[in-house]
Amino acid sequence: MSLYSIGKPLVAFFYSLCFRMSVEGVENIPKDGGVLICCNHLSNFDPPLVGISMKRSLSFVAKEELFEIPLFGRLLRHLHAFPIKRGTGDRGAIRTAVGLLNAGHALLIFPEGHRNPNAPLRKGLSGAGFFALKTDATVIPCAIIGHYGFRKKVKIVFGEPIDSKMLKNQKKKSSEASAAIMNGIQQLLDQYR
């Protein structure tokens, strides 16, 4: 049994005590095959929230600095995280992400690149669009709505898949594909806020 599978129910229990959580749209997440979950980013609480809200195991990227913290970096790796050097076009992280998606894993990314607890959404970085165009992964927009605080309401919504085949057929650039993904996230925020 992995640390991820042991920790997931414990984190779910902790979150249920701390927050009034609700989840919608899990039926939009395929049961198998590569899945790219693209989500807005309110807080460091977001990755575990997305992870406990879906049945599948989830990998995610985290800033490289977190992996330099003794023990915490090792813990992150056991929880399916891998490092990225932000703002550098980190080829190692890109290869890892593409490999995971092509191998049929679920991967969480935050296209804004940084936490953004305040509306409006920032422009999405091109990485999300790149992964959508360069893999056969199903792209799922995801929105986290609310504020983390003791017994505050936090809602997570998984939207319907974005048609990445259409984006490929239209020969969209990575930045244009990212804009389409961000539009999907914005629609969820507008609908469920």
Predicted local distance difference test score (pLDDT) of residue 42: 95
5-9 contacts, C-beta under 8 A, 24 or more apart: 5/57, 7/79, 8/51, 8/52
Residue 11: which H helix or E strand, with range? helix 3-18
The whole-chain average pLDDT of the chain stands at 90
pLDDT exceeds 70 at position 148:
yes
38: β partners: 109, 141
Res. 88 pLDDT band, cuts 50 70 90:
low
pLDDT above 70 as % of the chain:
97
Res. 61 pLDDT band, cuts 50 70 90:
confident
More confidently predicted of 45 and 85: 45
Six token digits for residue 180? 């389409």
CA distance 102 to 118: 34
pLDDT exceeds 90 at position 46:
yes
Give the homologous superfamily in CATH for domain 3-192.
Glycerol-3-phosphate (1)-acyltransferase (3.40.1130.10)
